[in-house]
Amino acid sequence: MRILSRSDFPTSGEHLAYQRDDFWGESSLQHAPFVAERGLDLLALREPMRLYTGSVSEAAQAFPANVNVAAAVALAGIGPMRTQYELWADPTVKRNTHSMRVDAAESTFEVNVAGVPSKTNPATGALTPLSTIATLRGLVSPFRVGT
C-alpha cells in the first residue's frame, strides 16, 4: 500500500488526522515504558482499556515498540505532533487493528486494517516480515511490474 503524502497533492485547508490501535496480544504492550511505569497488568484485563490518547510523537516515547504504523501515517501526513492517537489494550479483539481517519477540506476517509499478530512477536503483525522481504527484493531487483 502506498500512503499519500502532503507532497502528492495540493491542499486548500487544514487536515485533521486520527488513528486508533487496538492490540489483541496485550503481552505485546506489557513491557512498554508507559505500562511499566504505572505497574499495569494488561494480562489480567477482561475488557478493553484505553492506555493512551494524545499525539503520535508522545506515544512513540511511551510505546516505542507499538506505534510504527501510527508513526508512518503521521510522517506521511500532517506530522507526529498534530496527528492524534489512541492506543487500547483489548482482550476482546482477535487481531491487532489500526483505524485511521482523515478529515480535510478536499475529502474525508477512513481506513481499517486488522492484522494477524506474529506468533513469535505479538507486538508486530505476521505480514511485517513478508513486507520487509518484498521491500528488500524491490530495492535490488532490476525488474518491476506495476507501480
Which positions are annotated as active-site residues?
Answer: 98
Half-sphere exposure of 88 (CA within 13 A, CB side): 19
Q: Which secondary structure element, helix H or strand E, spans residue 2, and what is its range?
A: none
CB count, 10 Å around CB of 126? 15
- Specify the 3-state DSSP secondary structure of 132: helix
CB-CB contact of 101 with 109 (8 Å): yes
**First vs last Cα of the chain: how many Å apart?**
10
- Is residue 29 exposed (0-12), middle (13-18) or buried (19+ Cβ within 10 Å)? buried
